[in-house]
Amino acid sequence: MKILHYIPSIDRTSGGVGAYMQLLAKELGKLCDLYIVTSVSENPLPIENAKIITIPSKITEFRQMKKEWCNLLNDIKPDVVHVNCCWMPQSAFTQKWAQKLGYKVILSPHGMLEPWIISRHYWTKKVPALLLYQKAAIKNADCLHATAESEKANLLKLGYNKKIEVIANGIDVDSIRMKDNWERKKKILFLSRVHVKKGIEFLLEAVAIVKEQLTDYTINIAGEGDADYIASLKNKAKELGIEKLINFRGGVYGEEKWKLFREADVFVLPTYSENFGIVVGEALACGTPVITTKGTPWEELNTEHCGWWTEIGTEATKEALLSFLNISTCELQEMGYNGRKLIENKYSTKKIAHDMLLLYKKTIG
């Protein structure tokens, strides 16, 4: 079977979407002939078991993009075209051009159709995009791929397309070494794209409230983002009187990233909205308990006793931090083992790749 993915970017700054493609390809490429079409970028993620093809992607290059895309389709003749992301015209038009040539298309929104995302810049950006291309792309997709039941529910509420299948994102758990010690190192970690969606202000405000209990702790904020936004977060930390507790690490990759996960006593993602949250799975695979919000689908943090699944906001983040500070080392270790077991049993990349291949077969009938 030949599968062709289109994804706007696999640059290391692409966040969870790029990581999803990297993780999926590693196992899916063993089960089929996998091609990934994307744009040129400065720091592309290394991707195994797939042929990477770049095509023009700027709006001014659409004529050339269409020509090269259609030529690729005619040369490769994929069984299924899998388009990733919404709101970028490149994704909508690659889908449209593929379907005009008779190809089946699966569309993965990657949380970009969640209510919080749609509400941002609704009248200035989202409505024009819906009218021009995005609504048609959603309606015409042969299948929508959601990564959680909560995302499926929101797609159904949108009402554009009821053909939805749920397959979670995968974690390459076999390659992730679990921590072997849960003695408190007095380190708290946020690691993700530094963006307003991630709710970092809630973490800073919660830390400010309980700073007396966080003496000698370091709160690492790791990730790349807009320089002006990062500067505003640094100013906020200073205004809150916690600048000595907060360490802005910038982007971290490779072993440095995994070291941060393992050394953290707890991982915090106080986000407004995530369709999955790969970093949550990565932290759990390292044996690190997680605090995240009901803007993510990670209710299992509560049901499997491997973290805290909270409301969105400062107060809920504060309460979770206080709960974390008051539990024993033995309970932290138990949470760590529970989290690792959850990822191994439900979210391994091998299982997800197998499920995705079944979806492709179902799509072509």
DSSP lists the bridge partners of residue 348 as 171
Instruction: Report the distance separating Cα 306 and Cα 331, nearest Å.
Output: 9
The pLDDT of residue 254 = 92
Tell me what percent of the residues of the chain surpass a pLDDT of 70: 100
Instruction: Report the distance separating Cα 347 and Cα 350, nearest Å.
Output: 8
Query: CA–CA distance from 206 to each of 209, 213, 239, 313 (Å)?
Result: 5, 11, 14, 9
Give residue 344's pLDDT band: very low, low, confident or very high (50, 70, 90): very high
The pLDDT of residue 310 = 98
The pLDDT of residue 15 = 86
- Looking at every residue in the chain, the average pLDDT score rounds to 97
Given a cut of 90, whether residue 190 has pLDDT beyond it is yes
Tell the residue number behind the tokens 């799509």, with chain if given: 363
User: Edge-to-edge, what's the strand order for the sheet holding 143-146?
Assistant: 51-54, 33-38, 2-6, 80-84, 105-108, 143-146, 164-166
Residues 204-252: tens digit of each pLDDT: 999 999 999 999 999 999 999 999 999 999 999 999 999 999 999 999 9
pTM of structure = 0.91
Residues 122-168: tens digit of each pLDDT: 999 999 999 999 999 999 999 999 999 999 999 999 999 999 999 99
Residues 55-103: tens digit of each pLDDT: 999 999 999 999 999 999 999 999 999 999 999 999 999 999 999 999 9
Strands 51-54 and 80-84: unpaired
